[in-house]
Amino acid sequence: MQIEWTSNAAEPYLFRQAAEWTGVKVHRARVLPGRMLEEEACCHELNITVSGHFVAERRAASGKFVKTKSGEGTLCLTPSGQTVGAYWQEPLDNLGILLAPDFVRTVALENRFSTAFELREIYAAKDPLVEHLGLALLDEAHSPTPAGRLYTDSLIQTLTLHLLRNYSDAAPVPENTSGGLSGYRLKRVREFIDAHLDADISLQELARIADLSQFHFARAFRRSMGETPQQYLMRQRIERAKQLLAGDELPIVEVGLRTGFKNQSHFTTLFRKFTKYTPKLWRELERA
């Protein structure tokens, strides 16, 4: 992305934050006035104006430039291959999400969507969900106590499927999960989680065990258990940690590592969130 800055300030960025996962990049920046030079998008680009205003410039089929004004809360979607530019005459707070075309096609295939689809070019739309998901991903990436891969996968799946359902001509093939997970599928998933509490389990792994798409698995699991896969995983980790803390042989830091927490600080923070006690105090109370 090439930007020409109106200001002569040495640092035109007032704030920058970025995160990246396979096929997905999210960034947020508050910047001084400037212009993004016209370029062809190599990814599907979502831009949400958190605050401020900008003008998008794109070339119509006739060859003429079309300008669209965007304000606070505005979503712009530029499909891969589309040429676009923009300028803003006041400080701008922008949230950007880049989705690799191959990644979006893979998600479509895994979730029984037709892979022969096109995304619609959208300017000046309102979609609070996209903004919420993008900010949640950034918060998770920079959190001192991250929820883990399962949570991130769920956010990315929700975002990508929302894009396919609302801004493309992709047609989903329905799956029969109205009653939740069947007994044997639920049993296999729960056994896998219980056997891998120390691992950073992905949504893809659990969906594969249940033989469902990731989206339909997450929805069916919640119907069966009354909570999301991430909530269930975290609850099981805390329960396992309680069992290990009840013994005398393992140091607290080892208990945390065996139940999937990255370090003792991470373990202590989340254990206290669920139990109101630190692991050390909980162990002492159990021994009393």
pLDDT tens, position by position, 111-144: 878 778 899 988 878 999 999 999 999 999 999 8
Please give the pLDDT value at position 9: 80
**pLDDT tier at 175, thresholds 50, 70, 90:** low
Residues 159-185: what's their mean pLDDT? 80
Q: How many C-beta neighbours within 10 Å does residue 136 have?
A: 18
Residues 200-221: what's their mean pLDDT? 89
What are the pLDDT digits (tens) for 9-19?
Answer: 888 999 999 99
Q: Which one is predicted more confidently, 145 or 51?
A: 51
- Taking 70 as the threshold, does the pLDDT of residue 214 lie above it? yes
Indicate the average pLDDT of the chain: 89
CA angle 237–240–243, rounded 5-degree value: 155
- Taking 70 as the threshold, does the pLDDT of residue 174 lie above it? no
Written as one string, the DSSP assignment of the chain is --EEESS--S--EEEEEEEEETTEEEEEEEE-SEEEEEEE-SSEEEEEEEES-EEEEEE-TTS-EEEEEE-TTEEEEE-TT-EEEEEESS-EEEEEEEE-HHHHHHHHHHTTB-SS--BPPEEEEE-HHHHHHHHHHHHHHT-SS---HHHHHHHHHHHHHHHHHHHB---BPP---TT-S-HHHHHHHHHHHHHTTTS---HHHHHHHHTS-HHHHHHHHHHHHSS-HHHHHHHHHHHHHHHHHTSSSS-HHHHHHHTT-SSHHHHHHHHHHHHSS-HHHHHHHHH-
What are the pLDDT digits (tens) for 245-257?
Answer: 998 788 999 999 9
Residues 68-73: what's their mean pLDDT? 87
Share of the chain above pLDDT 90, in %: 59
